Amino acid sequence: MTQANDTANLTDSLNEFVSYIKGFQSEIKTEMKHTNERVTMLDRTTRQAHRPHLAASIQTEAPHQKAFNTYLRSGDDAPLRGLDFEGKAMSTAVNGDGGYLVDPVTSDTVKSVLSSTASIRAVASVVNVEASSYDVLIDQNDMGSGWATETANSTETATATLDRIAIPLHELSALPKVSQRLLDDSAFDIETWLAGRIADTFARAEAAAFVTGDGIDKPTGFLTHPSIDNDSWAWGSLGYVATGSNGALSDADKIVDLVYALGAQYRANASFVMNSKTAGQVRKLKDADGRFLWSDGLAAGEPARLMGYPVLIAEDMPDMATDSLSIAFGDFEAGYTIAERPDLRVLRDPFSAKPHVLFFATKRVGGDVSDFAAIKLLKFGTS
């Protein structure tokens, strides 16, 4: 009887286990069915989201771009006031009297055009500041040193002195205008047009100021500072080498003299600066063996070289004339500093020039010589 009971109990247990397995399989099938249904629905939703828009009027601009475009076209600043400004959009908003900061797309366009313009900006040191001026500290003197022995006392050495050069920031402005009818034309790319007009105006004004600016409400150009014969050079002036001929450059020797008038610590990063007319004369110069000193760049975008040093063609440099300072050579990254605020402001004025709309754009920039030993000049004169 005992064996029969054990067999019956084992049979019941097996039946119960099989029943449990079948129930578990049924639950798994049900869950798999629900999962497949959810995946199918998700796939359909994704495909619908990726379908191309049939309407051509779908707005794809970022919110800050649409808001700024609305402001430029109609003067409606409500969308700008309602934006949640982030670092990647407009960084801040100012009151209606000051205008609004340009969105990063327009601002980057202006910056790229300025950087590609042939001006001292391409080789100078450019810093972004948030203040009204930028101070450069210059250490002119060596602090001194001496040899020490094992038993003798060390003597006091000379102390270095620091000079402070203040570079104030000045306001550079542009005032382009456009008709309201043109603004109403939705096919007109207002931001590209505005960026191009501002870039052209700012680039030409900056390039001239960095070379010959008088420092009155504009940057101080490096040619504005006093120039003195390099044999008598002193801080606060730029040293020059004279060609020995009024308004002419008869041979290549003076170019060699100009290069080696610059200190060795500056020559490694030095470059020539001259305008196109002067370059046309200089590239004809040959050394004693009949080899041209001038060599064109081997790759697209690479600058030409004179005695192995790059040449920047800056049209604001003076033409060759009697006693003109038409060629500069130096390490401009060390010798000239450009300080600017990174923001560009635009104010819309629909009233002053009806039926046109004025766009008053401003930025703040300054520049000045920061190391008088880093730049040398070639004077087209006898002394």
AA letter at 239 = G
- CA 115, 120, 126 angle in degrees (round to 5)? 65
**Nearest to residue 67, comparing CAs of 82, 45, 52, 49?**
82
For the chain, the farthest-separated pair of C-alpha atoms sits apart, in whole angstroms, at 137
* Residue 366 host element (H or E): strand 356-369
Spell out the residues 6+ positions from residue 20 whose beta carbon is closer than 8 angstroms to its own. none
AA letter at 307 = M
Measured N-to-C along each axis, helices 190-212 and 104-116 cross at an angle, to the nearest 10 degrees, of 40
**Nearest to residue 65, comparing CAs of 53, 80, 75?**
80
Residue 366 φ then ψ, to 5°? -145, 165
Spell out the residues 6+ positions from residue 330 whose beta carbon is closer than 8 angstroms to its own. 262, 266, 270, 271, 374, 375, 376
**Nearest to residue 172, comparing CAs of 135, 147, 204?**
204
Per-residue confidence in pLDDT tens, the chain, 383 aa? 566 666 767 777 777 777 777 777 878 888 887 787 777 776 665 555 444 444 444 445 566 677 777 777 767 777 666 665 443 333 334 444 445 556 666 676 776 677 666 789 999 999 999 888 998 887 776 666 667 777 777 777 666 667 788 999 999 988 888 888 777 776 667 777 777 888 888 888 999 999 999 999 999 999 999 999 999 999 999 999 999 888 888 788 899 999 999 999 999 999 999 999 999 999 988 888 888 889 887 776 788 899 999 999 999 999 999 999 999 999 999 999 999 988 788 888 888 888 888 888 888 999 999 999 999 999 999 88
- CA 247, 250, 253 angle in degrees (round to 5)? 115
